[in-house]
Structure 1
Amino acid sequence: MSVRTSIATVSLSGTLEEKLTAIAAAGFDGFEIFEPDFIGSAFTPAALAARAAELGLSIDLYQPFRDLDSADADQYARNLVRAERKFDLMEQLGCDTILVCSSPLPGAVRDDDLLAAQLHGLAERAHRRGIRVAYEALAWGTHVNTYRHAWNIVAAVGHPALGTCLDSFHILSRGDDPSGIRDIPGEKIFFLQLADAPAMAMDVLQWSRHYRKFPGQGTFDLAAFGAHVHAAGYAGPWSLEIFNDVFRASATGRTAADAHRSLRHLQEQVAARIPGSTGLFVPPPRPAIDGVVSLRVAAGPERAGELRTMLGSIGFGYAGRHREHQLELWRHGELTVAVDASPDTAWTAPALDAPMPVLSQIGIRCPDPDAWEARAVALEVPAHEVELPGAANRFGERAADVVRLRVTAATSIDLRGPASRAAWREAFEPEPRPLALPPLLTGVDHVALAVRPDDWDGIMLRLRSVFGMRPGEGVDIPDSVGQLRSQSLTMTSGKSVSPLRISLNMVPGCPAGTDHSSTIRRGGVSHVAFTCGDIFATAAELAGLGHRRPAISANYYDDLATRFDLDAEMLRQLREFGILYDADGGGEYFQLFTETVGEDLFFEIVQRVGEYRGQGEVNSAVRVAAHLRSGA
């Protein structure tokens, strides 16, 4: 029997009717009715029950029932009357489980025996009505604020209508150890609520109310949490309860689809923790990749010349032209950049309010693209965002073994099989005398993409679920024109010399629907970083090719001398070539930049020494300032 999926209506934007329609379309089995959503809707209880049945959805939980317990006996009696009225409503809804939260009020019961007695009184009334009570510890509860304490009270009551609700946020936000969940009998876990969240140093109540995310979008170890719950024998729905300001303002259908995908992704992770487990969703495995081999940049006729000049200055040579379209190939060793100079480039950039040029495709060599397609489909990537093998692209090219997966609105990842090389050769007229340039660049270190704030979490989930990418530590980078949020993700697979790394870059605070160019600052956000074996030798060679770099402030190198024990000769070379430097406990990192092409795109050449883990984020503000000066 497969795991049933559910979601709290509070997790989505829109009217209750819109939420239910989106929940059903996304593939959920049921939902939690969040009481304010019902109270504000036009549904009668009977009409809501009928609509849920029409959509094939069960009403899994009525929530929340707050502040049941009270040190004031009269207030407790009034609370029982209030509970009876909710039971009347639940009977009409056809819902048999109610969520009761531990009280955060000053008047909450602070004695376990009295609390157990009050919960027993509620359970007795619920039992007579065929209703179950799921007792949950709020992380900010006055007396009960841990799942162990809540379970101990439930166990002490020992009533068949009383169980516990486990909420990953309330447990993991406190840094609690979830392994004790395995000691709770599965039949006494009446409900499971799941939420991820980014690591934040703030009041837990505000963290909970505004920053919860779907599994795979935050930093909680939900795979370990889910494994403990599954091992305990819990057989009820896996439900999402997400309080998030961005989700509450985003497209309802898209958010619901991301939500359901997140539960599939989580089940795959949990299954990997419990070999031989049954009932969990497991998609086709990730095939191997051989690394980035090509990039396509949509430049249009107005920026193509500038892009050609820039590519030539970092060692790329013109290698051929498409037989029918204004698409050129520029090559350097095994690396290929396709320059799209077509006048109809609006399909990628202006239509998205994004400045050109824009990186439109990342080509990755892969022995089995079909398996990537199967994995994406299983993880419910929308059909219009998966271009299948053999499908003609806008240039009329048909490659029998290329699967194109949309990542951002402007950029896709193309997984290219062995036959694609021949298809490309056939489509292009090669340059008879390609320019012979020294082999300076050895591969692609990382690709950075500009992302809208309202797309951020969905893209993060897609990269983590479909591609299995692992996030590094996100950083907020203040610079000359504001603040940039950057998040790196890494995937190691197959024979690639270096892992696939993608950095997502976002300017926070830009609301959904605003001009995308307002999220991109003069000074660049999107870029491609190529690797080299010797940064100083490469810089010297590029100088002879006409490489133009932004001028790095002399203050930077003065500061560098105080932070690192670098010899005088290295410092001299860093200054001479405008190279930036960083080091961590694992190794060193060298960075050399081009000027920007247009408003946003630039190229970077890097050298990693040892096991350096970052991408030179500490130097971002210096780089932005230099690009701003060079573009002034």
Structure 2
Amino acid sequence: MEAISSAGFDGFEVFEPDLVSSPYSPAEIAKQAADLGITVDLYQPFRDLDSSDDTRFERNLVRLERKFDLMEQLGCDLLLVCSSPLSAAVTDDGQLIDQLGRAADRARNRGMRLAYEALAWGTHVNTYRHAWDIVRQVDSKSLGTSLDSFHILSRGDDPSGIVDIPGEKIFFLQLADAPHLVMDVLQWSRHHRCFPGQGNFDLVGFGSYIADSGYAGPWSLEIFNDVFRESATGRTAADAHRSLLYLQEHVAAYRGTVTEPLFEAPSPGPIENIVSLRVAAGPVRAAELGRRLRHLGFDLTAAHSEHGLQLHTQGPLAVVVDTTVDSLWTAPGVPAHLPALAQIGVRSDAPEQWETRAHAFGVAAKSVTMPGTVEAQDGVVRLSITDATSLDLRSRASTGAWQAAFDLAPRRSNPPSDPIVTAVDHIALAVPADSWDGIMLLLRSVFGMTPHEGQDVVDSVGSVRSQALTLATGHGTIRISLNMVPGRSSTTDPLPAARRGGVSHIAFGCADILGAASEMTDRGFVPLDISANYYDDLAARFDLSTELLAEMQCFGILYDADGTGGEFFHFFTPVVGEDLFFEVVERRGGYSGYGEVNSAVRLAAQLQS
């Protein structure tokens, strides 16, 4: 309850299993809610009210009265009544109308209300239209319907009929997202419901029908999955509140109007592309990381005497290597496995707009002073994405002031006539399992990133779940891929020492993959040794010339095509330390993927390097 209040919610539902196991009485819960300034909006669920067994139904009415006693102590007047999934459920509408009418009379006499909900697996009533038709025919002011997005959308039902239900007869709204899965709907419901913005349901369309119906009650969340109850309550509540704000913002945009109680977020600021990276390396890994960057065409151009930072530049790109080991991981007692990506710098002419927007969604963001600069010169706003990695929104002026603050020039060399790499193509981040959905929601809500179809990628410790998100900016595309290793959590060592092959990497884009590989080789890069069997397979699957295949094999270049003219060439460095590596890519013909089909080949070569 404290987490719910702190997150910004107005009220909450009391879930009966939580109350039954709680050491606090209903009256104590009501007092705590009042002290926190939140309301108890619903008690749920009341299961299996209707019954074809008259004796059982009469006993259910007695049980109903006892729940009214409890609700009076809670200070709550609304009870969720689910349609019955039992074999003894009423299967005649006339009998069901009579039984719900009798229950509604009991509620009216006690100053209570009943919200009737169709369970997707109900024996007789399993659609919202059927539930509403029963409620309509009962015609009692004490009986309305409750709409649950999961029960409606999981069946593939058309939610447009919601607009035909008078808003005042929708007593309650429960929302949940979910990934598209093919499985028993009950198991899907119990294990895979997530917050809006974390799944694949069209909740924006669903929410627009709710708004059009005239419903003016709470927008609530009913979530069941295997992770959220294990997570810290504060973080879970913050993610939950953010998910409703995210949904309401998109519903308002979809409808073209903002009406109560919809949330209107501050507008996003301008954004361009990724221009800088900070990699925490420590004193041991800094030299090895520097060599890899030199291979990629970066040169060590300056250093910071006070903060132990080394500046590597190439064209407009900058990579800072942090030779110190400080609080890279925020979890107490968790060791730092280095090198690791600590900061992603993104160009924005108005970072303060992003700070305002982030705060509106409950995301911690702050203006920061970069090492060696003064506050007036700054234009940097920092948001934490993972426990280890932050995203910095930087103005052009702040970047110039920051680079000018590097006061040592230990070595300068002649850069290549043309940059080897020209942009950051994408970044892959290792994400703990219990943070996955929250990070996904942050990127979608604050930045409006679009998720793409997830992938299961073979990794050295099994299967890694990978999810790419993109943001088209007008200056290119920002791509971030989240990689989750089963069993990894934010409360354990985030990068186990036994890990090999890596799940975090930085991919740079180039205009000419063969030219880039050749120049990198001239700078000392040794390509990964890719199996000859791979190139034999490419020759069988694609119409690539013998000469091109020979050059690709020489430089360890991998290939994919999307079937619509898009092509993808890419190659990798060995892993630096235990987890981080680099990739160089060339996209042709609008290819939008990441060459996931080559992951096993990449991994095998890295393990042998």
Decide: shared fold, TM above 0.5.
Answer: yes
Correspondence for 2:248: 267
Question: Are 2:6 and 1:28 equivalent residues in the alignment?
Answer: no
RMSD: 1.9
> Unaligned regions of 5+ residues in structure 2, if any?
none
Q: Is the 8 A contact 1:179 1:228 kept in 2?
A: yes
Separation in structure 1 between the aligned mates of residue 423 and residue 599 of structure 2, nearest angstrom: 22
Correspondence for 1:445: 425
Correspondence for 2:98: 117
**CA deviation after TM superposition for structure 1 residue 430, in Å:** 6.2
Correspondence for 2:593: 614
Separation in structure 2 between the aligned mates of residue 99 and residue 349 of structure 1, nearest angstrom: 40
> Unaligned regions of 5+ residues in structure 1, if any?
1-19
Correspondence for 2:517: 539
Q: Name the amino acid aligned to 1:443.
A: A
Q: Name the amino acid aligned to 1:412.
A: S
Question: Residues 93, 344 of structure 1: CA spacing in aligned structure 2 closer, same or farther, 3 A cutoff?
Answer: closer
Moved more, 571-580 or 391-400: 391-400
Correspondence for 1:211: 192
Question: Are 2:477 and 1:499 equivalent residues in the alignment?
Answer: yes
Correspondence for 1:484: 464
Correspondence for 2:496: 518
Q: Name the amino acid aligned to 1:40.
A: S
- Structure 1 residues 355-504: aligned runs within 5 Å: 355-382=337-364, 386-388=365-367, 391-392=368-369, 398=375, 399-429=377-407, 431=409, 433-437=412-416, 438-493=418-473, 495-496=474-475, 498-504=476-482
Moved more, 400-409 or 36-45: 36-45
Separation in structure 2 between the aligned mates of residue 347 and residue 78 of structure 1, nearest angstrom: 57
Question: Are 2:173 and 1:192 equivalent residues in the alignment?
Answer: yes
Separation in structure 1 between the aligned mates of residue 593 and residue 403 of structure 2, nearest angstrom: 36
Q: Name the amino acid aligned to 2:130.
A: H
Q: Is the 8 A contact 1:507 1:519 kept in 2?
A: no
1:350-405 CA distance string (max 9 Å, x none): 964341001111111111011010001111113xxx221xx335777645211111
Aligned pair partner of 1:283 in 255, 265, 274: 265
Question: Residues 505, 354 of structure 1: CA spacing in aligned structure 2 closer, same or farther, 3 A cutoff?
Answer: farther
Q: Name the amino acid aligned to 1:590.
A: F
1:130-166 CA distance string (max 9 Å, x none): 1111111111111111111111211222222111100
Correspondence for 1:12: none
Separation in structure 1 between the aligned mates of residue 60 and residue 195 of structure 2, nearest angstrom: 33
Separation in structure 2 between the aligned mates of residue 37 and residue 303 of structure 1, nearest angstrom: 49
Correspondence for 1:338: 320
Separation in structure 1 between the aligned mates of residue 404 and residue 490 of structure 2, nearest angstrom: 42
Q: What secondary structure does 1:602 align onto?
A: strand
Separation in structure 2 between the aligned mates of residue 32 and residue 448 of structure 1, nearest angstrom: 38
Separation in structure 1 between the aligned mates of residue 336 and residue 99 of structure 2, nearest angstrom: 59
Q: Name the amino acid aligned to 1:471.
A: P
Q: Is the 8 A contact 2:77 2:113 kept in 1?
A: yes
Q: Is the 8 A contact 1:349 1:356 kept in 2?
A: no
**CA deviation after TM superposition for structure 1 residue 570, in Å:** 2.6
1:326-351 CA distance string (max 9 Å, x none): 21111111111111112546567996
Correspondence for 2:163: 182
1:573-627 CA distance string (max 9 Å, x none): 2222211111114411111111111011111000111121211112112211211
Question: Residues 433, 626 of structure 1: CA spacing in aligned structure 2 closer, same or farther, 3 A cutoff?
Answer: closer
**CA deviation after TM superposition for structure 1 residue 276, in Å:** 2.2
Question: Are 2:230 and 1:257 equivalent residues in the alignment?
Answer: no
Separation in structure 1 between the aligned mates of residue 112 and residue 437 of structure 2, nearest angstrom: 37
Correspondence for 1:319: 301
Q: What secondary structure does 2:396 align onto?
A: coil
Q: Name the amino acid aligned to 2:385.
A: V
- Structure 1 residues 558-577: aligned runs within 5 Å: 558-577=536-555
Question: Residues 624, 348 of structure 1: CA spacing in aligned structure 2 closer, same or farther, 3 A cutoff?
Answer: farther
Separation in structure 1 between the aligned mates of residue 63 and residue 178 of structure 2, nearest angstrom: 33
Q: Name the amino acid aligned to 1:217.
A: Q
Q: What secondary structure does 2:194 align onto?
A: coil
**TM-score, with structure 1 as normaliser:** 0.92
**TM-score, with structure 2 as normaliser:** 0.96
Q: Is the 8 A contact 1:524 1:627 kept in 2?
A: no
Q: Is the 8 A contact 2:331 2:490 kept in 1?
A: no
Question: Residues 197, 612 of structure 1: CA spacing in aligned structure 2 closer, same or farther, 3 A cutoff?
Answer: same
Q: Is the 8 A contact 1:217 1:457 kept in 2?
A: yes
Separation in structure 1 between the aligned mates of residue 384 and residue 534 of structure 2, nearest angstrom: 39
Question: Residues 249, 394 of structure 1: CA spacing in aligned structure 2 closer, same or farther, 3 A cutoff?
Answer: farther
Question: Are 2:93 and 1:93 equivalent residues in the alignment?
Answer: no
1:255-288 CA distance string (max 9 Å, x none): 1111111111111111101112312111111112
Correspondence for 1:76: 57
Separation in structure 2 between the aligned mates of residue 505 and residue 429 of structure 1, nearest angstrom: 37
Correspondence for 2:36: 55
1:503-536 CA distance string (max 9 Å, x none): 0111013355222123983111111111111111
Q: Is the 8 A contact 2:272 2:347 kept in 1?
A: yes
Q: What secondary structure does 1:441 align onto?
A: coil
Q: What secondary structure does 1:117 align onto?
A: helix
Q: What secondary structure does 1:142 align onto?
A: coil
Question: Are 2:84 and 1:103 equivalent residues in the alignment?
Answer: yes
Separation in structure 2 between the aligned mates of residue 395 and residue 259 of structure 1, nearest angstrom: 39
**Percent same amino acid at aligned positions?**
61
Q: Is the 8 A contact 1:349 1:358 kept in 2?
A: no
Q: What secondary structure does 1:429 align onto?
A: coil
Q: Name the amino acid aligned to 1:551.
A: D
Question: Residues 144, 406 of structure 1: CA spacing in aligned structure 2 closer, same or farther, 3 A cutoff?
Answer: same
Q: Is the 8 A contact 1:471 1:487 kept in 2?
A: yes
Separation in structure 2 between the aligned mates of residue 533 and residue 330 of structure 1, nearest angstrom: 21
Q: Name the amino acid aligned to 2:208.
A: A
Q: What secondary structure does 1:248 align onto?
A: coil
Q: Is the 8 A contact 1:446 1:502 kept in 2?
A: yes
Separation in structure 2 between the aligned mates of residue 542 and residue 290 of structure 1, nearest angstrom: 27
1:17-50 CA distance string (max 9 Å, x none): xxx1111111111110011111111222222221
Q: Name the amino acid aligned to 2:568.
A: Y
Q: What secondary structure does 2:570 align onto?
A: strand
Q: Which has the higher contact order (CA 8 A, sep 6+)?
A: 1
Question: Residues 42, 346 of structure 1: CA spacing in aligned structure 2 closer, same or farther, 3 A cutoff?
Answer: closer
Q: Is the 8 A contact 1:444 1:529 kept in 2?
A: yes
- Structure 1 residues 12-23: aligned runs within 5 Å: 20-23=1-4
Separation in structure 2 between the aligned mates of residue 560 and residue 414 of structure 1, nearest angstrom: 40
Question: Residues 278, 500 of structure 1: CA spacing in aligned structure 2 closer, same or farther, 3 A cutoff?
Answer: same
Question: Residues 346, 126 of structure 1: CA spacing in aligned structure 2 closer, same or farther, 3 A cutoff?
Answer: closer
Q: What secondary structure does 2:407 align onto?
A: strand
Q: Is the 8 A contact 1:349 1:410 kept in 2?
A: no
Q: Is the 8 A contact 1:479 1:625 kept in 2?
A: no
Separation in structure 2 between the aligned mates of residue 401 and residue 302 of structure 1, nearest angstrom: 32
Q: Name the amino acid aligned to 1:46.
A: A
Question: Residues 511, 330 of structure 1: CA spacing in aligned structure 2 closer, same or farther, 3 A cutoff?
Answer: closer
**CA deviation after TM superposition for structure 1 residue 210, in Å:** 1.5
Separation in structure 2 between the aligned mates of residue 400 and residue 483 of structure 1, nearest angstrom: 42
